[in-house]
Amino acid sequence: MPGRQICCQGSCVKGPWHRLRGLRWTNIEILPNYQGKPEVKLSGSALELAADLGIDKIMVSISHDRGRAVAFAVAVGKEG
């Protein structure tokens, strides 16, 4: 699973803060929910920046096969 997590973290970092200094990979965790689906947990500077940008959560999709992985991340703001 580590390769898929790294790929997913990379897709999150390439969002609105991809050039932010001080952002650490450890501030973005990819954890399975109760159904095994990946969820993004932000902490530290990543969480602060997301709040400043009005990002409520980041949804991710991961696909993998034979040593290759691809991930896609979408930042979602608060509704209404």
Per the document, the length of the chain is: 80
Domain that holds residue 21: 2-77
pLDDT in tens, 55-71: 898 888 888 788 787 88
pTM (2 d.p.): 0.73
User: What is the CATH number for 38?
Assistant: 3.90.470.20
Q: How far is CA 75 from CA 35, 43, 45, 51, 65, in A?
A: 21, 15, 16, 11, 25
pLDDT in tens, 14-44: 655 555 666 777 888 888 899 989 898 999 9
The tally of domains found in the chain comes to 1
Residue 41: beta bridge partners?
29
What is the rounded CA–CA span in Å between residue 30 and residue 5? 6
